[in-house]
Chains A and B, each alone.
Chain A
């Protein structure tokens, strides 16, 4: 073998060489220690960076690494070894100093090798890898863990880099080295290191694309490595780790104190776990297609967001022999059982690493699923789970004993892992199987023979797994009640995990067949569980009622929402019992409020009611999320024996809550009982409830035959469903209830001044939900109470006190309800009546002579702001039916708007409202407008833009306070963003147009208009403002859209406008956000390909722009395309960018090269000239050659050619970027 030096003096070890190496080493050492001591860190970093970037630093690095290695001899080579050996003794003293240097050296090897990999010889590559591997093995006992880890990860990365080049036998050789370490008797430490190395290969996941380190290679490379590893090696690694663990098991089990083998075993268990965590992709085919309920046990519960994650493990059938049939699971269970016995011994405890790893592995086994189980009707999986469950059972059973032990100081981790295991099992099975697992009495003879004694005893338990789950959960809830004050106790975690388990089990039941399948004992258990949950929640509520600080953050609210929906699933599983329970609880509290009025402080009861309302809302109805939610299945299919509507438990419960809510209309009651917070819950409940139950659209379909065993049963269920649905329908109590709801809403808006949250709920949820239902709208507009609301809105003063977003939302709601009118004419008239007051006020105000003075009065400013918000809300509600009235409205305020913009130029808040109204209005209207109207609107928008620009160009704010200055800047940003949105919606006229004639008829050219608008707006957008990501994004989106769709307009722009557009494009190319760069590249592609196509058709294309102009001094200037070709090449070859951009960049580069072939040749030659090293020079020449010539690339711009060029560019960059960047 030879040394690693490729350049320089070779491996002969001349004294000069030695001195050079030593001096490098010294400088690095000094740099490292000065970084540690914070002495001149910049210079030190530069030294280290220089080492990383210098060409071929391997020799120096290995030198540093090997300094104190005397025994590297068997693995290392010739001259190098001699140097190392000589230096060893003299440098031993410096040991403490060089640790860091060795770390840096390893990093340097990694960087340099990645960069120069392509032109290392095969021997060099192998040498590097084996050097790293040997280094690690040799230093197995060394205390400097981080150097070990670094070198071992470097080895992993190098192996991966060369993965596709190395032959199978070469890889085999490396892995043999590792295998030797794991198996042979080099001692425990070596074993440990070997396992750790495999872990850094698998777990730190060099091979899994999401976590691998960047190598500047295409994604495809990572994919290939991943596939190869998964198919060829993963199982082998697994077996090695397993065998290593098994080999030490005996020692561990037999010893009474901690032994060093434990370390190996822990590492091996961890590796096993990591391998099972692998995202298996290949060889699992058939999983998704299979109909077998057990092997296809993966349920895509996208509906339920999980709090605890549960990863499904799905290796293919190839793993069956290792995982299932070899007794592997049994071994792990036995190991853990043996460990459990030892927890009293010294060196072992419940949370010692080996126990934790073993438990994690067991939990991971629980989530094993897919084709690994043969399709024998699930018996194999059932047996597998039964075996696991038997091992897990002692962790959680009996629940009360376990809970007590934890309370008295036992660690809770085992119990939590038990819960996690239950969750995993629940995820891979159906609820029925899950329940049967524990009581499977119909034992297969196979079971009897093989099962452990413990399982045997367990099988004759009288109850199923679900019952166990309920009792376990009950214990947890009881504990929560005791410790409700403090968060983060074990019972919180346990509750969350168990709730997830319930959710997983019950979601499928709830959406499919109802709970008819669950045995009655389970129903009883869930019913009592729910009762306990409610009790707990109520207790928490009444205890926290007096707390002052309850500033919930958003996260905790959504967590609570999730928890409540899990509760609801449990409640629905035993709906027979839970609805009457809720009814009873409500009645008790209502009575308590009435009895104690004026005498007892009601706060605790109010808080309890608050919780009850939230829980009941979740139980009775689902979240709509924009859709119309149906009555939950469990409720539909239950209560079959109640045929009279007014005796239906759900009807009674809803009715009594509504009746209670109605009492808030009485001022006296309102004062004493209905606190703002209680009203929030009531409004929320009403909103949620009415979406499902109020005047449901659904007719009872005949032949709904999915359930019911005989005709009579079916008929009965129909009757009961009908009774429930029609009770609050339009022909029954519906109108009455609707009236009550509207009156409650008015009360919250009028009688709770300043309660922002409450009013927001009312506007955004309750009223909004009402107008969503078209059939509700029909009745709404006929109601007196609704007219009252509309009247208060149009003519009253009180609603001006609402905060601005609520004004907007209210206006939107009212305009939307116009849908309920008989025909379009009536709807338009309704909208006119609603909005007339706005128009009148604004027109009158703008006609005043002393407008300038009047407008500055605070109350006028307030009114104007409110009215603008209302206008915006109305504009948001534009629908085809009311479009006409809203157009007229906007048209009539056009002039006032411009006047107000002038008057309020210093009131940035008002200006923003003005702009936002126009944006929303244009956005709603633009696609309906006829040519004439479009011309008017476009003209108006341009005047608005010009006016705004004239106020703001060159303005400097003078204020002492930096926070006011920042605020002003933010406001400017919001304004500009609105203006860009305005231009974007104008753009859309060309894409979506419902008008009868073409807009060209009026001579309006949208592209010119938008470019003109951009021309006005762009000077306002400073580079400083482009730091706002949203603004930047919007701006470039608009720009690239314009350039892509209308490249021809660019040619017609004047020089100043053009310079600005191109300047920003160049700025965008070097932006950090890859999405922005992407948009700029697309724009470039559009420009260049437009020019090229036009030129080939012998037209002018971009004309003089592309040809180059003469600047003011008469010097010829480069054409724009040449400039961009230059800067794009510069970017691609020498700068940092995300690899994802390469294909878009290729799309832009290709037409640019075609347009500017001469320049491209020149640039290419320049690059070659600059290269001194002859090998590199010839590589570069070849690469440039094949960039444009390989892959049958031709000079037409079609799909195929673009694709070919993308491939070429990719190869080109891989080939040359490495050495170009280091020069």
Chain B
């Protein structure tokens, strides 16, 4: 859901009431899907809230360029070159090591509200 204009995945919902015979409110704890920050919010349980449209697409990894961008192969055969490598070191090394050891890698790219980020990596093994 969207919390304070940030995208987050809800990890905990608890309800509370105003007095014993009052009506319930929901307490959300969310984690930003792009930067991992924790967010909290309280809303009455009868309210509606916004849910973002999150898309995940798989691309095959073709190349990693020097300047930190990746080159991806789309379904229709074009390449997509506008995506940066993740900044976190451990994630970065996972991708780089996998790529350098010659594995065929598929990356899942998550996109929502105009932002894009690599969220998963999968070894599809050598093609026979």
Contact of B21 among A678, A753, A756 (CB under 8 A): A678
| Nearest-CB residue, chain B, relative to A956 | B121
B68 at the interface (CB under 8 A from A): no
> Is the beta-carbon distance between B94 and A676 smaller than 8 angstroms?
no
Residues on A with C-beta less than 8 A from B82 are none
> Is the beta-carbon distance between B52 and A676 smaller than 8 angstroms?
no
Residues on A with C-beta less than 8 A from B121 are 955-958
Given contacts A957-B119, A959-B36, A963-B11, contact A754 B45 (CB under 8 A): yes
Report the minimal beta-carbon distance from B29 to chain A, rounded to whole angstroms.
10
A755 at the interface (CB under 8 A from B): yes
> Is the beta-carbon distance between B36 and A964 smaller than 8 angstroms?
yes
Q: Which residues from 664 to 688 on chain A have a C-beta closer than 8 Å to any C-beta of chain B?
A: 675-678
A603 to B55, CA, bound (A): 48
Q: Which residues from 753 to 767 on chain A have a C-beta closer than 8 Å to any C-beta of chain B?
A: 753-756
A963 to B9, CA, bound (A): 11
A956 to B118, CA, bound (A): 11
> Is the beta-carbon distance between A958 and B31 smaller than 8 angstroms?
no
B27 at the interface (CB under 8 A from A): no
- The stretch of A174-182, A542-550, A629-637, A1124-1132 in contact with B is A542-550
> Is the beta-carbon distance between B123 and A954 smaller than 8 angstroms?
yes
> Is the beta-carbon distance between B51 and A957 smaller than 8 angstroms?
no
A561 to B17, CA, bound (A): 23
Contact with A along B73-106 (1 / 0, CB 8 A): 0000000000000101001001100000000000
> Is the beta-carbon distance between B94 and A956 smaller than 8 angstroms?
yes
A736 to B119, CA, bound (A): 58
Contact of B20 among A550, A858, A960, A964 (CB under 8 A): A550
Report the minimal beta-carbon distance from A414 to chain B, rounded to whole angstroms.
39
A959 to B9, CA, bound (A): 12
B54 at the interface (CB under 8 A from A): yes
> Is the beta-carbon distance between B35 and A960 smaller than 8 angstroms?
yes
A900 to B103, CA, bound (A): 28
> Is the beta-carbon distance between A906 and B23 smaller than 8 angstroms?
no
| Nearest-CB residue, chain B, relative to A550 | B20
A1183 to B55, CA, bound (A): 69
> Is the beta-carbon distance between B118 and A607 smaller than 8 angstroms?
no
> Is the beta-carbon distance between A955 and B120 smaller than 8 angstroms?
yes
A167 at the interface (CB under 8 A from B): no
> Is the beta-carbon distance between A958 and B91 smaller than 8 angstroms?
yes
Contact with B along A532-554 (1 / 0, CB 8 A): 00000000000011111010000
Contact with A along B31-75 (1 / 0, CB 8 A): 111011000000011100001111110000000000000000000
Q: Which of B11, B19, B54, B94 has the most chain A CB within a 10 Å cutoff?
A: B19
Residues on A with C-beta less than 8 A from B46 are 753-754
A1024 at the interface (CB under 8 A from B): no
Contact of B119 among A546, A677, A754, A958 (CB under 8 A): A958
Report the minimal beta-carbon distance from B52 to chain A, rounded to whole angstroms.
7
Q: Which of A546, A548, A607, A678 has the most chain B CB within a 10 Å cutoff?
A: A548
| Nearest-CB residue, chain A, relative to B124 | A954
Given contacts A754-B26, A856-B55, A958-B86, contact A963 B21 (CB under 8 A): no
| Nearest-CB residue, chain B, relative to A545 | B20
> Is the beta-carbon distance between B120 and A958 smaller than 8 angstroms?
yes
> Is the beta-carbon distance between A755 and B11 smaller than 8 angstroms?
no
| Nearest-CB residue, chain B, relative to A549 | B16
Given contacts A753-B45, A964-B9, contact A959 B21 (CB under 8 A): no
A794 to B88, CA, bound (A): 48
B22 at the interface (CB under 8 A from A): yes
Given contacts A753-B45, A906-B108, contact A961 B21 (CB under 8 A): no
Residues on B with C-beta less than 8 A from A548 are 18-19
A548 to B32, CA, bound (A): 31
> Is the beta-carbon distance between A958 and B53 smaller than 8 angstroms?
no
> Is the beta-carbon distance between B45 and A956 smaller than 8 angstroms?
no
Residues on B with C-beta less than 8 A from A603 are 19-21
A755 to B17, CA, bound (A): 10
Residues on A with C-beta less than 8 A from B125 are 954
Residues on A with C-beta less than 8 A from B53 are 856-858
A753 to B86, CA, bound (A): 42
> Is the beta-carbon distance between A961 and B36 smaller than 8 angstroms?
yes
Q: Which residues from 737 to 779 on chain A have a C-beta closer than 8 Å to any C-beta of chain B?
A: 753-756
A544 to B21, CA, bound (A): 11
> Is the beta-carbon distance between A957 and B120 smaller than 8 angstroms?
yes
Given contacts A675-B22, A856-B53, A906-B108, contact A756 B15 (CB under 8 A): yes
A606 at the interface (CB under 8 A from B): yes
Report the minimal beta-carbon distance from A968 to chain B, rounded to whole angstroms.
9
Residues on B with C-beta less than 8 A from A550 are 20
> Is the beta-carbon distance between B86 and A856 smaller than 8 angstroms?
no
Q: Which of B22, B24, B26 has the most chain A CB within a 10 Å cutoff?
A: B24
Report the minimal beta-carbon distance from B2 to chain A, rounded to whole angstroms.
11
A607 to B17, CA, bound (A): 15
A956 to B97, CA, bound (A): 13
Residues on A with C-beta less than 8 A from B91 are 958, 960
| Nearest-CB residue, chain B, relative to A753 | B46
> Is the beta-carbon distance between A677 and B20 smaller than 8 angstroms?
yes
A677 to B18, CA, bound (A): 12
Residues on B with C-beta less than 8 A from A960 are 35-36, 88, 91
A963 to B110, CA, bound (A): 18
A964 to B36, CA, bound (A): 8
A1204 to B104, CA, bound (A): 58
A967 at the interface (CB under 8 A from B): yes
A961 to B117, CA, bound (A): 14
A607 to B21, CA, bound (A): 8
Report the minimal beta-carbon distance from A667 to chain B, rounded to whole angstroms.
15
A678 to B53, CA, bound (A): 39
> Is the beta-carbon distance between B120 and A956 smaller than 8 angstroms?
yes
A960 to B17, CA, bound (A): 34
> Is the beta-carbon distance between B24 and A958 smaller than 8 angstroms?
no
> Is the beta-carbon distance between B23 and A676 smaller than 8 angstroms?
yes
| Nearest-CB residue, chain B, relative to A967 | B11
A957 to B110, CA, bound (A): 12
A955 to B88, CA, bound (A): 18
Q: Which of A755, A954, A960 has the most chain B CB within a 10 Å cutoff?
A: A960
Nearest 7 CB-CB pairings of A with B: A754-B45, A675-B21, A960-B36, A961-B36, A954-B123, A858-B51, A906-B56
Q: A755-B23, A960-B88, A961-B36 are in contact. List 9 more A-B contacts (CB 8 A).
A: A544-B20, A545-B21, A550-B20, A753-B45, A859-B51, A906-B108, A954-B125, A960-B35, A961-B32
Q: What are 14 A-B pairs with beta-carbon distances under 8 A?
A: A677-B17, A677-B20, A753-B46, A856-B56, A858-B52, A954-B122, A954-B123, A956-B123, A958-B86, A958-B118, A958-B121, A961-B31, A964-B36, A967-B11
